[in-house]
Amino acid sequence: MCTAIRDDIVSGTFPPGSRLIEDLLARRYGVSRVPVREALRTLASEGFVVTRRHAGACVAEPTRAEAADLLEVRALLEPLGAARAAQRRGEAHLKVLRGLVRIGRERARAGRSGELCQLAEWFDETLAQACGSPSLTALLTQVRRKIAWVYVAEPPARPVETWEAHGALVDAVVRRDAERARELAAARAGRFPGEFRLWRPVAPAGPPGDSPRKRAVNTMSARS
């Protein structure tokens, strides 16, 4: 239930500011109100949903500053995740990472850049799982979901070089070279601002004391 609502928020089916009415959500997903209510609480803890007076649960409205913070948080977490992956990865993780790098290199050399963003997402997901820390994996996953909510990933300007860098990172993980993995992940994170652009409206950061909660909201329409 939580995944279904989150996916609809990230995809824009429920735009920022729209109301999330339990009855309509229960009807949409074919469940009772209880799992809907629990899912909304979880999504509120993740920052996708806020509760407003006289409106109830609504899709959060991230500000431009909050959107920028997401890239900075990811840039801080991913080098740590890469270092942990080098220390704790399993053979299954290595097999998937090597396979993704091989496919990514092939697609990049063939000029099939449209397929590279999805491959990069799978690469990041696998690397996060390889870190061996459920808490760190959950943090990385949550940050990536929120980035996908407000940004669109741009195809790399130099796709061949990008996937060679992915390959070098995997090589460091294979060798259990945590410091080299951390270094390569940090270098990659330094390119994040140029790899993403805002793709849905975000609220400007207001003066101290201003809150998105004061803004008007839309009403979610029921969809089957």
Q: Is 89 found in the same domain as 26?
A: no
176: confidence class by pLDDT, cuts 50, 70, 90: very high
**pLDDT at res. 200:** 59
Residue 18 domain boundaries:
2-61+203-214
Q: Is 129 found in the same domain as 44?
A: no
Number of domains in the chain: 2
Q: How many other CB atoms are found less than 10 A from the CB of residue 50? A: 20
Does a structural domain hold residue 35? Answer: yes
| CA pair distance 217, 52, nearest whole angstrom | 10
Instruction: Round the CA-based radius of gyration of the chain to a whole number and report it.
Output: 19
Does a structural domain hold residue 167? Answer: yes
Q: Is 181 found in the same domain as 82?
A: yes
Question: Which structure tokens are listed for 221?
Answer: 């329409």
Please state whether beta strands 49-52 and 56-59 pair in parallel, antiparallel, or not at all (unpaired): antiparallel
Measured in Å, how far apart are the chain's first and last C-alpha atoms? 15
Q: Is 157 found in the same domain as 121?
A: yes
Of the candidates 142, 132, 193, the one whose C-alpha atom is nearest the C-alpha of residue 2 is: 142
Instruction: Give the DSSP letter string of 160-171.
Output: HHHHHHHHHHHH
Coil vs helix vs strand at 220: coil
Q: What is the CATH number of the domain that holds 23?
A: 1.10.10.10
Q: What is the CATH number of the domain that holds 172?
A: 1.20.120.530
- Which residues, 6+ apart, have CB-to-CB distance to 157 below 8 Å? 194
Q: Is 208 found in the same domain as 182?
A: no
Q: Is 179 found in the same domain as 71?
A: yes
Q: State yes or no: pLDDT of 199 exceeds 90.
A: no
Phi first, then psi, for residue 62 (nearest 5°) are -65, 140
180: confidence class by pLDDT, cuts 50, 70, 90: very high
The single-letter code of the amino acid at 142 is Q
Does a structural domain hold residue 223? Answer: no
Q: State yes or no: pLDDT of 140 exceeds 60.
A: yes
pTM over the 0.85 mark: no
**pLDDT at res. 201:** 56
Beta pairing partners, 57: 51
**pLDDT at res. 196:** 73
Does a structural domain hold residue 220? Answer: no
Torsion of CA 141, 144, 150, 152, to 10 degrees: -140
Does a structural domain hold residue 224? Answer: no
**pLDDT at res. 156:** 80
Q: How many other CB atoms are found less than 10 A from the CB of residue 65? A: 12
Q: How long a stretch of residues is the chain?
A: 224
Secondary structure letter of residue 151 according to DSSP:
E
Question: HEC states along 26-70?
Answer: HHHHCCCHHHHHHHHHHHHHHCCEEEECCCEEEECCCEHHHHHHH
Q: Is 85 found in the same domain as 54?
A: no
Does a structural domain hold residue 162? Answer: yes
Burial (Cβ within 10 Å: 0-12, 13-18, ≥19) of residue 170: buried
